Amino acid sequence: MNAEIITIGDEILLGQIVDTNSAWIAQYLGEADIAIRCITSIADRREDISKALLEASSRSDIVIVTGGLGPTKDDVTKDTISQFFKSPFIRNQHVLDHVKQLFVRMGRGEMPISNYAQADVLECAEVLFNDVGTAPGMWIERDNNRFAFLPGVPFEMKFLMEKRVMPRLMAMRSNVHVYHSHILTAGLGESFLAEQIADIEASLPHYIKLAYLPKIGLVRLRLSARGTDVNLLETETENFANRISERLKKYVVAKEDISLEEAIIKNFSESHLKIAFAESCTGGTIASNLTKYAGASKVFDCGIVAYANPIKQGVLGVRENTLDEFGAVSEQTVIEMAKGVQRVSGAEYGVATSGIAGPTGGTPEKPVGTVWIAVAGKNEIVTKKFQFNNSRQINIERSTMQALVLLWNLYVKELV
């Protein structure tokens, strides 16, 4: 079984809202082994709506349509789908009673006649009763296709997907299953990884696919298997995932679908280790990235954003001599910053950054994008110089990710 999503309405096409509904539906159906083949966003325009419905039904078994049917929308969508299914809209008394009741319950008084149209559904449709809102959904079976029309309001859409659509999909499902396995790696580029596991990749059976999903300093590997024998899929996929993990051993951060930050929080808290940050050019971004995730407080007590030299000296104890002789953007300075924040916080690991994020502040010796990173661990200090040459925000983002990668690498090294 495969499915398509069509969203109708202007907000997405104007960029006023990000289409999170489609991602939610895709993930929700994906977990039930129903793959999304296409997502289409269109406006309330007759020609585009009928073309999209036609295309989708020619390609996919299930067509999920969100939006376009609210009470204040003009009648283009209703008209078009009525023509498409050659079926008129009729008023549903059960829905009308519900909508009237909701109106009263919300303290909005007697419902105006203009709202009665919310209870209109296609004659050929089964009503997907919407307990949590006024707009009903519709389920239509036509030839080999199943259509679900749903409101665009996220929580109403989710309610209808879970309570009304999924049971209908389950009743018609074939026995095809999908199984995913993820490996997060750090420290080796996409093409180098691919070279290292070329023989394993070549030996994958046709029903298992390998995808490389790279992101600054990291590459995520995803194995996806499809078939009818769910035990075989799991066993075989995990078998290949293990072979790949074994081969890439020292580059593997996690054997699950998590971020580097989550892997750091998980591993450091299990090892009872704390991290502290002394950030200059990244200005709090490393601390902020870690804080996003629940559990950060278990591994992270303290961060110092030492943007100015007096703070580097006063709070972190960087020596005036070091700043005078080598400058703020230097290996010597980040080493003293990393040690300084270890001392101030009592954390086992200290991470420091200093660089020229841009757009100004560069010199011939230290152009914009020059960044020094130091990680002080339990026994060792590692440093690395990067030469980015991007925009300010990208330089900060890359420095942040690279600092976390260096932290991870030293953690792994000192674990042994």
Residues 166-185 that bind its own copies (CB under 8 A): none
Candidate ranges 142-150, 169-177, 244-252, 280-288; the one touching its own copies (CB under 8 A) = 280-288
Which residues in the 340-369 window bind its own copies by CB under 8 A?
A: 344-346, 357-361
DSSP state of 271: T
In terms of DSSP bridges, do strands 218-227 and 177-186 run parallel, antiparallel, or are they unpaired?
antiparallel
Please state, in angstroms and rounded to a whole number, the distance separating the CA atoms of residues 269 and 29.
34
**H-type helices in 147-259, by residue range?**
154-160, 166-172, 190-196, 198-202, 230-248
Which of these ranges, 81-89, 109-117, 242-250, 331-339, lies near its own copies under the rule CB under 8 A? 109-117
Q: Using the rule CB under 8 A, which residue among 12, 63, 169, 186 binds its own copies?
A: 12
Smallest distance from its own copies to CB 211, Å: 7
Task: Give me the least distance between CB of 332 and its own copies, in Å please.
Answer: 20
Tokens representing residue 96 in the block: 């009308």
Stretch that binds its own copies, among 76-84, 91-99, 286-294, 404-412 (CB under 8 A): 286-294
Nearer to its own copies, 41 or 92 (CB): 41
Give CA separation, 219 vs 77, 122, 379, 391, 405, in Å: 43, 48, 28, 23, 11
Question: Per CB under 8 A, does 379 bind its own copies?
Answer: no
Considering only the stretches 61-69, 80-88, 225-233, 276-284, report the one whose residues sit in contact with its own copies under the rule CB under 8 A: 276-284
CA distance 393 to 378: 31
d(CA 382, CA 78): 64
Q: Which is nearer to its own copies, 10 or 126 (CB)?
A: 10
Strand pairing category for 62-66 and 2-8: parallel
C-alpha dihedral (181, 208, 62, 15), degrees to nearest 10: 60
Read off the DSSP letter of residue 349: E
Does residue 412 touch its own copies according to CB under 8 A? no
Q: Which of 1, 32, 33, 55 binds its own copies (CB under 8 A)?
A: 55
x/- mask, its own copies, residues 293-332, rule CB under 8 A, reads xx-xx--xxxxxxxxx-xx--xx-----------------
285 near its own copies, rule: CB under 8 A: yes
282 lies in the binding site for its own copies (CB under 8 A)? yes
The tokens describing 53, both together, are 């419905």
Tokens of 388: 């980015």
- Parallel/antiparallel/unpaired status of strands 381-387 and 208-215: unpaired
**Under 8 Å between Cβ of 160 and 216:** no
Is 205 near its own copies (CB under 8 A)? Answer: no
For position 391 contacting its own copies by CB under 8 A, the verdict is yes
Contact pattern for its own copies over residues 139 through 168, marking x by CB under 8 A = ----------------x---x---------
Cα–Cα distance for residue pair 344/303, rounded to 1 Å: 10
Three-class SS state of 240: helix
Task: Report the residue from 139, 147, 149, 277 that binds its own copies according to the rule CB under 8 A.
Answer: 277
Q: Confirm or reject binding of residue 90 to its own copies (CB under 8 A).
A: no
